[in-house]
Amino acid sequence: MRNAFLIIALLCVGFLALGKGTDGYTVLTSEGSRRTAVAKHPVVIPPILLRDRGGSFFKINDYREGPTLVEFIYTGCQTTCVELGNAFEEISDSLSKSMKVRLVSISIDPTDQLEDLQRYAERFNIPSHLWKVAKVKNRKDTTSLLNTFGIIAIPDGYGGYEHNAAIHIVDRSGKLISIVDHEVALLALTAMQGDQ
């Protein structure tokens, strides 16, 4: 009888912990939880200085004409980052001239130089007026930026990194309002343009 009570108590505690860890049983992964949290509580993006492939400085939250789509990359990555680059290329090709949007690919590889950013841009035929490829100006700000966006990068054991692969939508007020897969980013962007 005592063992049965102990088992029931442990199951109840486990069930409650599962509910807390899955945002009320609505998500199954930490990535799902990250996306749900941002949708419920948009995050203010800190004014961290970025440097683009041409050497110019800017901040994510200084673009006020419309939303900014942000992705995090390693310029030397041959897997996830290629998919993200292809998604941004597709989005940039699909945008109508009337849509006020900026795309930003941020390299989180501390060894990247401006030449690496330029090569990445050339690989995807990136139009510089629409799509910025950049890196954080001061390395010490990289952790703050990654934490703000909820990006986790883990060494893969082969000299590269595994990291979250998503498109982050920052509204014109400088808040991260949504995190989506690249397949639905254009749909989300079109819906946002209709609301303006």
- The reply to whether 117 and 27 lie within a common domain is no
- The reply to whether 23 and 118 lie within a common domain is no
Instruction: Name the nearest CA neighbour of 169 among 192, 150, 146, 147.
Output: 192
DSSP 162: E
- The reply to whether 23 and 96 lie within a common domain is no
- DSSP letters, 66-104, are S-EEEEEE-TT-SSHHHHHHHHHHHHHHH--TT---EEE
Rounded Cα distance, 89 and 101, in Å: 13
End-to-end CA distance of the chain, in Å?
63
Question: What pLDDT sits at residue 41?
Answer: 94
Question: What pLDDT sits at residue 194?
Answer: 52
Number of structural domains the chain divides into: 2
Residue whose tokens read 């990445």: 120
- The reply to whether 11 and 61 lie within a common domain is no
Range of the domain at 90: 42-195
Give average pLDDT by consecutive 10-residue segment, the chain, 196 residues.
52 47 48 86 94 94 89 79 76 74 89 91 83 91 91 73 80 91 65 53
Q: Domain containing 141 — which CATH number?
A: 3.40.30.10
- The reply to whether 83 and 30 lie within a common domain is no
Rounded Cα distance, 88 and 182, in Å: 8
Q: Do residues 88 and 104 touch, judged by C-beta distance below 8 A?
A: no
Q: Do residues 91 and 185 touch, judged by C-beta distance below 8 A?
A: yes
Q: Do residues 74 and 161 touch, judged by C-beta distance below 8 A?
A: yes
pTM above threshold 0.85: no
Question: What pLDDT sits at residue 125?
Answer: 82
What single letter denotes the amino acid at residue 28? L
